[in-house]
Structure 1
């Protein structure tokens, strides 16, 4: 029995030129390269230029994804942009990207699920495609997260960086089997009871300010390993596969210890985990498409490979997507 599948036709990414190493950060924050790298695996992060907005990063990543896909922006039906750091409170940053790309039909909107944003956005676009409402979608994760950091809080400011990644989805036909190309299964979760463990202490209706990131690191770590392993097992069970069938895990790049802990819980080799946290730090909604694009372009991810994309973010939100490349 045939079924509609959302096939990833291309991917792209963009990182700002400015690089801040741990040693650079230690010049104005009470920290050290050893302290950061041992606890997180992070060695450097990219910082957006003063005149670079989230939309600027998103546009460059989108252009590269469209180029790989061989699809013109005018052929897109929708854009969904996952971000927790929009250009403005409104309009949606996605509409700025839409205008810059020259897409004057269809629709564009932002989606906010913090670090899980890209997985949520991918699932949203997939459902529009499966419902027959659109044929081609651009899904972007883009952040200028360093703009909401408190550089007097060394437990959080060392963790984050800026960047953007994007994928182009196109409707295709599958046989309804795990061997199909495209998105095979997704699961999304949230639990607002834990909202005070990872949050920003500001907003338009509360303080009238942007606010800064606040986090209870140990609690977040504990929940992340358990939740991410569980959601991956749920997704694999949905399609009758096991973790041993997965060729690559492309995770949210929060912390090396979380990535290693999740892989261990699923009995996965660390060699199957795409890891960029050492060079990109945590780029929130941008981290999965950044890692995906790197692994596709360097040849690790090949046609037919089975990928597990997974993330957890503030809220708590978490989820995953199983994709046949």
Structure 2
């Protein structure tokens, strides 16, 4: 059964830092090669923040990009939701920093942390708040400075991560809502395979490595994602009473191109229908989906009215999949 929605995705903006980290650059840092990285991940380069550039800076520039492309779109904004695992501070939230920068008043602002599923969690939350009638216009921002928490001595993981941010506007629309249905779940016992330490250094009695850097068991993450996401896609389609042929684009978290290819194969989705950002931006966690969407917009692939499966998944383990209509027009109206 289709879920009730009265919210539409109506505008998009993105930003990535200027600094590039190529595979050739990584060859000088760790024992790796361009061939090895491309073969296993599909990645060619990533963008990295400068020493004095942080997640709030990326998010603000993504919002400014949205404003420039869709003048007046943020008038009447009444909530900011930011997805990030790499906030500048424990508090204040990145959302509060965005509010302060733009000087918006009478507006709510909070961060959420669902790691690489953060963008879809944020969209799901915004849809619920708007459909319930509590809010009318919500800015959902995803931003990450993963380079600041990457262990560049770990040759298996340091090749993966990059920095970037994106923003999507979700607003009330009773006649042309975006959101059709969703799947969501958590597998908390997988947390030991992907984590970054915080105030404690153990997890359920287990001693953890990392010292503030990301630690990933890529093989276990890969196995979980390749197994569970095709099942989630099947459930999304069943709930919406739709078929794979009805889907224009599959937009998964761009963790690793080989993982995306495996998911597509198991789900029966032609890989040509997958929108990704992994080749030139690496794994940008919660920002990867919105970066992929905007790349498709800029290359005139993604059109208003296209039917999408947006599927975020990551540390926790947690995931949210959304079946949605792309509601952004070329003019921003």
TM-score (norm 2): 0.91
Q: Which residue of 2 aligns with 1:42?
A: 43
Q: Which residue of 1 aligns with 2:185?
A: 189
* CA shift for structure 1 position 102: 2.2
Q: Is the 8 A contact 1:5 1:184 kept in 2?
A: no
Q: Which residue of 1 aligns with 2:160?
A: 159
Within 2, Cα distance between the matches of 1:298 and 1:173? 29
Within 2, Cα distance between the matches of 1:55 and 1:283? 15
Q: Which residue of 2 aligns with 1:71?
A: 72
Q: Which residue of 2 aligns with 1:227?
A: 228
Q: Which residue of 1 aligns with 2:90?
A: 89
* CA shift for structure 1 position 95: 0.5
Are residues 51 and 134 of structure 1, via their aligned partners in 2, closer, same or farther at CA, if it must alter by over 3 Å? Answer: same
Q: Which residue of 1 aligns with 2:207?
A: none
Q: Which is worse superposed, 238-247 or 107-116?
A: 238-247
Q: Which residue of 2 aligns with 1:298?
A: 299
Within 1, Cα distance between the matches of 2:117 and 2:24? 29
Q: Which residue of 1 aligns with 2:248?
A: 247
Q: Is the 8 A contact 1:195 1:314 kept in 2?
A: yes
Are residues 111 and 210 of structure 1, via their aligned partners in 2, closer, same or farther at CA, if it must alter by over 3 Å? Answer: farther
* CA shift for structure 1 position 82: 0.4
Query: Runs in 1 of length 4+ with deviation above 3 angstroms?
Result: 66-74
* CA shift for structure 1 position 307: 0.8
Within 1, Cα distance between the matches of 2:24 and 2:187? 37
What does the per-residue CA deviation read over 1:187-236, in whole Å, with 9 as the maximum and x for residues that have no partner? Answer: 22111111101111x213448x9711111111111111122111222222
Unmatched segments (≥5 aa) in structure 2? 203-209, 327-333
Aligned length: 317
Q: Which residue of 1 aligns with 2:131?
A: 130
State the secondary structure of the residue aligned to 1:154: coil
Within 2, Cα distance between the matches of 1:243 and 1:167? 25
Q: Which residue of 2 aligns with 1:203?
A: 198
In the alignment, structure 1 residue 267 sits paired with structure 2 residue 262: no
Q: Is the 8 A contact 1:10 1:67 kept in 2?
A: no
* CA shift for structure 1 position 181: 4.0
TM-score (norm 1): 0.93
Q: Is the 8 A contact 2:186 2:318 kept in 1?
A: yes
Within 2, Cα distance between the matches of 1:227 and 1:94? 31
State the secondary structure of the residue aligned to 1:157: coil
State the secondary structure of the residue aligned to 2:181: strand
State the secondary structure of the residue aligned to 1:133: coil
Unmatched segments (≥5 aa) in structure 1? 175-179
Are residues 218 and 206 of structure 1, via their aligned partners in 2, closer, same or farther at CA, if it must alter by over 3 Å? Answer: closer
